[in-house]
Structure 1
Amino acid sequence: MPPSPGRRFGDGLAVGPDLRGAAEVAVAQALAPLGGATPDLLCVFVAGGGRGADGDAAAQAGLRAMELGGARTTIGATAGGVIGDGRGVEDVPAVAAWAAILPGVEIRPFRLTVERSETGADVTGLPQLRADDRLAVLLVDPYSFPTGGFLQRCNAVLPGFPLVGGLASVASGPGGNRLFLDGEVLLGGAVGALLGGDVAARAIVSQGCRPIGPTMVVTRAERNLLVELAGAPAYTRLGEIVTALPPAEQELVGRGLQLGVAMNEYAEEHGRGDFLIRGVLGIDVESGAVAVGDVVGVGQSVRFQVRDAAAADEDLTELLAGAVADGPARGALLFSCNGRGRAMFPSADHDVGAVRAGLGTDGVAGFFAAGEIGPVGGRNHLHGFTASVLAFQ
């Protein structure tokens, strides 16, 4: 779908202890490229908050940003670090803003809440999907909302419908995060926006890994235990792979081995982006089983993976190059794991720099999340150590 000529995007970032003032600067920067037009969608991300006075300061910053932005729809969240103006900043007070003019796109904001009863818990608030709805942005408080279960339910009842977003990350316990929605500050649940109509956008999910060894079929498994791969004990197969690696690669295996689970069993080949990455939790040498962070079934194809800065950079760069094969993007939202940034790269600017360069646009903003939401193999998942990007043409 060719992009509408009227689409415009802007981003801004301001750092400083005066969060309200930072919100004013960041929003002004984000609005500047719009030429005075009212944004259809404004996203606001506030770093610095938590309980008590700090939480109140974050709330006031969000309220001020929503007031100044004047957008038809505004969503946002607090985070441990924010992204905008070509930079990523972590562990300091800051505000990032992203504004978009999206002609022909219908935007419907929503708030999700959890209603608990004796029989369980139900999520309410998601509007009924319309025929021309294309995707949704989702921002979540991880301490009050069952993200994993919600995504599984959406995959079942809304197959193939992409959700892109992240988990608020400023707090290390319940009650510390803030969510923003159209002039309101919320203490829990989830907020988001459904985008329908003339939506020229795509999700890019970079899980930051490089494969090692061959793709193998699971021939015996017990829930999250890989017992046999290609007819041999899983630990034996892993040992064969590691022994064949050079010493530097063997060190990577020791620091953080991962497993890629193929999402399409019928594909002739499985390449980058075809695997859902899950961590290897442990190895039982006596039984030969390998424990992983998900349930893997007999007959599924898997491939061991390693993750480091070089692999993460390579993965993101290649996925971005594929995303712009039909032309550069005009703007993007970026949800990068808080385990990336300075924890993985020399600078917190890495992911935003790579996205701006790879997509050929300056209009990129987002935050460092406590978990990233995005589709792999046509199904939505909650990821870790991932960069989840929503790129607009």
Structure 2
Amino acid sequence: MARFGDALATGADLVSAAERAVLEATRSLDAYADLICFFVCGADPDEVTLAGQRVMALAGDAVTLGCSATGVVGAGRGMEEQGAVSVWAAHLPDVTLAPFRLDVIPEGDHLAVVGMHEPDSDDRAALLLVNPYEFPAQSFVERSTDALDGLPIVGGLADGMRGQDSVRLFCGGEVVDAGAVGLMLGGSGVVGTMVSQGCRPIGRAMVVTKAEGNVILELAGDSAYERLESLVNSLPPEEQELAANGLHIGIAMDEYADDHEHGDFLVRSVVGADPEAGSLTIGDMVDVGQTVRFQVRDYDSAAADLVDRLQVFNEETGGRSAAALLFSCNSRGTAMFATSDHDVRLVQQNLGIQSVGGFFAAGEIGPVAGRNHVHSLTACVLAFEN
């Protein structure tokens, strides 16, 4: 039977915090650890490195994977912008683990990603941690669904409290400051993945009738800008304010669906509007014929969507989850909710589990409608069973 443990330790001495966290997490297993995932938040990149090295030194024969972050999750808590180490440990007799490290090399007139394993028939998911400053995360993840025969990828983009130069990745005893690291996970012990995009739709769904790249020119045969303007003017004042503070658009992932509900859309930001051209610029490519629907996000919608997604996931997987890894956007936490603990507590409550580890990411990775994407302002989960 699988066993899980997690711990979160804080303090100015990150190495000491790392020791306390790894010992507490592994002690609660009452078995040897097969996998230790850990996440380190600290102001000094050298201290973050030493803390990560200390976790790996104490991990014994366990596979180790981790990264730096601006906030970490563990022991039912979230901790942001202060010295903390989160350790999640697992004894996984029914899971195969194949670590990998990805690098980027020149190949002709473009860059190629090397180091990815071919998935085995038994693989159920891949866990991926990325240095977003040194690795083409968006393009790699977008192509991964086809390249990996539909294998779901979940994880996050690492960061550090000093930005680009403070990002650290950890894998198998090594410290990496570029590229990406990860694991192929196979076997019946992997329950699956869940993504909560935290938005709710406004207005009706419309078909894109003219577009160029990531610029929508027409919706349902009329100016995209005028369609949006008409929609916003029809909204109640509180929703107009939400739209003004950050409007999003959902791109339907299955054009053949009879109805498009909120979980059927890939949510992207509306990043620009040109009233003279009548166009809207969004944070992804869109094709003529695709269905889109405008979306808004606030505290209530983000919380409700996370609960809904977790409950649907729990029902669809037969309540098999016993532990999970959680990757929440670094713009969630106290930037969106009253407490840093918001997302981890909801995961525990709605999946009926205790051991949840993770971090606040600079971008989250997870599948929507069967395709892998890099997201923002989401919460992504990878769940395991006993």
In 1, distance between residues paired with 2:179 and 2:78?
A: 26
Q: State the secondary structure of the residue aligned to 1:174.
A: helix
Matched, 1:370 2:362: yes
In 1, distance between residues paired with 2:60 and 2:326?
A: 22
In 2, distance between residues paired with 1:251 and 1:71?
A: 53
In 2, distance between residues paired with 1:204 and 1:125?
A: 26
Q: Which residue of 1 is the match for residue 302 of structure 2?
A: 312
Shift of 1:137: 0.3
Q: Which residue of 2 is the match for residue 18 of structure 1?
A: 13
In 2, distance between residues paired with 1:61 and 1:185?
A: 11
Query: Is the Cα contact below 8 Å between 1:328 and 1:361 reproduced in 2?
Result: no
Q: Which moved further from structure 2: 225-234 or 66-75?
A: 66-75
Post-superposition Cα deviations, 1:17-60, rounded to whole Å, max 9, x if no partner, equal 1101101111122113311x1111110100015xxxx2221111
Q: Which residue of 2 is the match for residue 331 of structure 1?
A: 323
Q: Which residue of 1 is the match for residue 67 of structure 2?
A: 77
Shift of 1:14: 0.5
Q: Which residue of 2 is the match for residue 227 of structure 1?
A: 217
Q: Which residue of 1 is the match for residue 334 of structure 2?
A: 342
Matched, 1:44 2:43: no
Shift of the 172–232 alpha-carbon distance from structure 1 to 2, 3 Å rule, reads farther
In 1, distance between residues paired with 2:63 and 2:368?
A: 27
Post-superposition Cα deviations, 1:215-253, rounded to whole Å, max 9, x if no partner, equal 111111121111111112112221222222111111000
Shift of 1:105: 1.2
Shift of 1:118: 5.1
Q: Structure 2: which amino acid aligns with 1:44?
A: F
TM-score of the aligned structures, taking structure 1 as reference length: 0.95
Q: Which moved further from structure 2: 296-305 or 190-199?
A: 190-199
In 2, distance between residues paired with 1:201 and 1:290?
A: 39
TM-score of the aligned structures, taking structure 2 as reference length: 0.96
Alignment of 1:227-306 (within 5 A): 227-306=217-296
Alignment of 1:89-238 (within 5 A): 89-117=79-107, 119-171=109-161, 173-238=163-228
Q: Structure 2: which amino acid aligns with 1:281?
A: V
Q: State the secondary structure of the residue aligned to 2:164.
A: coil
Q: Which residue of 1 is the match for residue 4 of structure 2?
A: 9
In 1, distance between residues paired with 2:380 and 2:219?
A: 30
Q: Which moved further from structure 2: 195-204 or 169-178?
A: 169-178
Q: State the secondary structure of the residue aligned to 2:217.
A: strand
Q: Structure 1: which amino acid aligns with 2:48?
A: A
Query: Is the Cα contact below 8 Å between 1:159 and 1:379 reproduced in 2?
Result: no
Query: Is the Cα contact below 8 Å between 1:42 and 1:71 reproduced in 2?
Result: no
Q: State the secondary structure of the residue aligned to 1:92.
A: coil
In 2, distance between residues paired with 1:277 and 1:80?
A: 24
Can you give the 5+ residue segments of structure 2 that lack an aligned partner in the other structure?
none
Shift of 1:172: 5.0
Post-superposition Cα deviations, 1:250-269, rounded to whole Å, max 9, x if no partner, equal 10000000000001111111
In 2, distance between residues paired with 1:82 and 1:19?
A: 13
Q: State the secondary structure of the residue aligned to 2:358.
A: strand
Shift of 1:188: 1.2
Post-superposition Cα deviations, 1:289-312, rounded to whole Å, max 9, x if no partner, equal 111111111100000000111110
Post-superposition Cα deviations, 1:99-155, rounded to whole Å, max 9, x if no partner, equal 111112110111111112553221111122212111110001111111112113312
Post-superposition Cα deviations, 1:311-370, rounded to whole Å, max 9, x if no partner, equal 100110000001111115210000011111111111111111111111111100100011
Task: State the percentage of identical aligned residues.
Answer: 53
Q: Structure 1: which amino acid aligns with 2:3?
A: R
In 2, distance between residues paired with 1:7 and 1:120?
A: 43
Query: Is the Cα contact below 8 Å between 1:219 and 1:229 reproduced in 2?
Result: yes
Shift of 1:375: 0.5
Q: Structure 2: which amino acid aligns with 1:41?
A: L
Can you give the 5+ residue segments of structure 1 that lack an aligned partner in the other structure?
1-5
Q: Which residue of 1 is the match for residue 344 of structure 2?
A: 352
Shift of 1:280: 0.3
In 2, distance between residues paired with 1:391 and 1:271?
A: 24
Q: Which residue of 2 is the match for residue 391 of structure 1?
A: 383
Q: State the secondary structure of the residue aligned to 1:127.
A: coil
Q: CA RMSD in A?
A: 1.3
Q: Which moved further from structure 2: 235-244 or 252-261?
A: 235-244
In 2, distance between residues paired with 1:311 and 1:108?
A: 37
Query: Is the Cα contact below 8 Å between 1:134 and 1:199 reproduced in 2?
Result: no
Q: How many residues align?
A: 383
Query: Is the Cα contact below 8 Å between 1:136 and 1:195 reproduced in 2?
Result: yes
Q: Which residue of 1 is the match for residue 371 of structure 2?
A: 379
